[in-house]
């Protein structure tokens, strides 16, 4: 049997995913990285985007809102602010969240960094990531 990695995708609320996989692809701040068994130890920040895990001929996709990835021996832990498997994304709810965030962001003065602005931007990006991942898969 081929060597595998144990992958865990964890949010502050719960464990989203845990499984033995052949490969995982993570969106880091510097671009996507592919992690295979025997990967060098790594700790890095992840950006909002798509995580892919490959098990045999099957690939599973997850939307993540950002966080950190840790690789140690043959274990990958993705500590995400938010994460959801593509098949469970509520696209209509994400679209509504996107519209609401855009509307609220438009109420801020141009160049404003008032309280709440960063949270709205993060919410907008999270909604966009969910829509993109669900639409692609």
pTM of the model: 0.88
Give 67-105 pLDDT, tens digit per residue: 999 999 899 999 999 999 999 999 999 999 999 999 988
| CA pair distance 116, 101, nearest whole angstrom | 11
Rounded to an integer, the average pLDDT of 24-28 is 96
Q: Residue ranges per domain, the chain? A: 5-86, 90-136
Query: What is the fold, at CATH topology level, of the domain defined by 90-136?
Result: 1.20.5
The CATH architecture one would assign to domain 5-86 is Sandwich (2.60)
Give 49-74 pLDDT, tens digit per residue: 999 999 989 999 999 999 999 999 89
| CA pair distance 94, 73, nearest whole angstrom | 36
* CB-CB contact of 103 with 25 (8 Å): no
């Amino acid at each position: 049997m081929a060597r595998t990695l144990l992958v865990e995708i964890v949010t502050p609320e719960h464990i989203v995913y845990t499984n033995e996989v052949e490969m995982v692809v993570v969106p880091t701040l510097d671009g996507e990285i592919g992690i295979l068994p025997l990967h060098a130890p790594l700790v890095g920040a992840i950006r909002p985007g798509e995580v892919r895990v490959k098990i045999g001929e099957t690939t599973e996709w997850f939307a993540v809102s950002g966080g950190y990835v840790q690789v140690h021996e043959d274990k990958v832990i993705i500590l995400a602010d938010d994460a959801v498997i593509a098949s469970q994304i509520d696209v209509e709810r994400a679209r509504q969240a996107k519209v609401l965030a855009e509307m609220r962001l438009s109420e801020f003065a141009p160049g404003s960094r008032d309280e709440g602005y960063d949270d709205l931007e993060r919410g907008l990006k999270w909604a966009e990531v969910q829509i993109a991942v669900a639409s692609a898969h």
